[in-house]
Amino acid sequence: MTRVSPDYDDVPEKQYHFQQAYRGQAEAAVGDMIVYYEPRRSGSSERPASGRQAYFAFARLTHIEPDPILADHFYGFVDDFLDFDRPVPFKEAGGYYESALMREDGKTSKGAFGRSVRLLPEHEFAAIIAAGYASISGYEPARTNLADFGFSDTEQAPYERPIVQSLISRPFREESFRRHVRLAYDNRCAVTGLRLINGGGRPEVQAAHIMPVASNGPDSIRNGLALSGTVHWLFDRGLISIADDLSLIAPPKLIPDALAGLVQHGKPLLTPRDEAALPHRSFIEHHRNHVFKG
């Protein structure tokens, strides 16, 4: 369980910060896939309760290390992060994806729900993944019986994870990243604001990684920008970058004269309406420190 603006030192694409109480569950998941859930209260306890109340991404937990500063706290490090095609509510189509969240009277178990790290049986993990990637699983909440994924008393066949194999393949991840970023920016270039559609009805805007894939940058919406081809070229070569306030850094000395009118230093970027899709500061800092030539 994590938040868009977490109280802990979470960056879901890279690391998850947790207390000693959850160490056993976390260690049991090392080397395996995990799913992230965003609760209703998204951010500090003083912020409005506006979280999505949904599972929103998956990743692979690679290893755990002690927090070097806080005693009895740990970091779980991840790779293979990927946003779901859609947020998946913890309950839909008449059933709970996590059976442990349902009390005997059919209501939600607040005690179980309040645990920030929970272990999932294979079939429940499968149900969440299938619902999150309906584009490749064929899952339809209104027409699917959750018992098909193991929500019944009958013995279930082992889950072979064919969907997971697709999700970790490079072609699928590239297409998923491109689709998610374009959608978040409404097919508009974040720098110029232009929304160009070609003769075939396809958007011309490209999906750029802020922290490059070559530097282990994740295929996350928060590590993406929708950019026109020319601006993408400038960004990847470090001729422009992004300030902490999400304005453009474009030193005139680095910009070819022919492009001076296209990119303007200090201009605010066009950003997604959804806070969960905004560029994350850690990826922006990486671009400034390791890619930008200014």
The predicted-structure confidence for 26-65, as pLDDT tens digits, reads as follows 999 999 999 999 988 654 455 556 788 999 999 999 999 9
190 and 149 in a common domain? no
**110 assigned to some structural domain:** yes
The pLDDT of residue 36: 96
Average pLDDT, the chain: 87
Total domains, the chain: 2
245 and 148 in a common domain? no
* CA atoms within 13 Å, Cβ hemisphere of 81: 20
Q: Which of 141, 163, 185 is the last residue of a domain?
A: 163
DSSP 8-state class, residue 108: B
Residue 128 contacts residue 35 (beta carbons within 8 Å): yes
Q: Which of 116, 146, 163 is the last residue of a domain?
A: 163
d(CA 75, CA 160): 29
231 and 118 in a common domain? no
* Mean pLDDT score, 230-245: 96
Residue among 161, 181, 179 at smallest CA distance from 272? 181
Model confidence pLDDT, tens digit, residues 135-180? 665 555 544 445 444 444 444 444 446 667 777 888 889 999 999 9
245 and 229 in a common domain? yes
d(CA 265, CA 230): 16
- pTM of the entire predicted model: 0.86
